[in-house]
Amino acid sequence: MLGFTTNTTEHLSVVVRDICQASVVDDGVVFPAESVTAEVIRQRAEYVGVRVQFVAHSGKSVVPMQIDVGFADAITPAPEMIEYPVMLDFPAPRIRAYPRETTIAEKFHAMADLGFDNTRMKDFYDLWQMLWLFTFDGDRLAGAIHATFERRGREALLEEPVAFAEAFIISTAKETQWKAFVRKNRLNDAPTWSVAVRAIRDWLTPILEPARTQQPFNFTWHPESGWR
Same domain for 59 and 113?
no
44: containing domain: 2-72
pLDDT in tens, 81-102: 999 988 888 889 898 888 999 9
Kindly state whether residue 93 falls inside one of the protein's structural domains. Answer: no
Residue 63, in any domain of the structure = yes
Render pLDDT for 159-196 as a digit per residue (tens, 0 to 9).
999 999 999 999 999 999 999 999 999 999 999 999 99
pLDDT grade for 3, boundaries at 50, 70 and 90: very low
Query: Are residues 147 and 216 located together in one domain of the fold?
Result: yes
Burial class for 206, CB neighbours closer than 10 Å (0-12, 13-18, 19+): middle
User: What is the pairing mode between strands 61-71 and 80-83?
Assistant: unpaired
Using CA atoms, how far apart are residues 188 and 183, in angstroms rounded to an integer? 8
Q: Residue 44 has what pLDDT?
A: 56
Convert the pLDDT of each residue in 108-134 to its tens digit. Answer: 999 999 999 999 999 999 999 999 999
Question: Among residues 68, 2, 57, 50, which one has the least CA distance to residue 35?
Answer: 57
Q: Decide if pLDDT at 7 tops 80.
A: no
Residues 65 and 106 in one domain: no
Mind giving me the DSSP string for 109-131? Answer: HHHHHHGGG---HHHHHHHHHHH
Residue 160, amino acid? E
Average predicted confidence (pLDDT) for the chain: 92
Residues 55 and 126 in one domain: no
Asked if residue 222 is part of any domain, the answer here is yes
Confidence tier at 2 by pLDDT (50, 70, 90): very low
Question: Between the CA atoms of 169, 1, 39 and 151, what dihedral angle is there, to the nearest 10 degrees?
Answer: 70
What is the arithmetic mean of pLDDT over 64-73? 85
Per-residue DSSP letter, 91: P
Q: pLDDT class for 41, splitting at 50, 70, 90?
A: confident
Rounded to an integer, what distance in angstroms lies between the CA atom of residue 143 and that of residue 148? 9
* pTM over 0.85, yes/no: no
CA neighbor of 147 nearest in space, from 108, 195, 205, 178: 108
47 found inside a domain: yes
Q: How confident is the model at residue 12 (pLDDT cuts 50, 70, 90)?
A: very high
Q: Are residues 134 and 212 in the same domain?
A: yes
How much of the chain exceeds pLDDT 90, in percent? 77
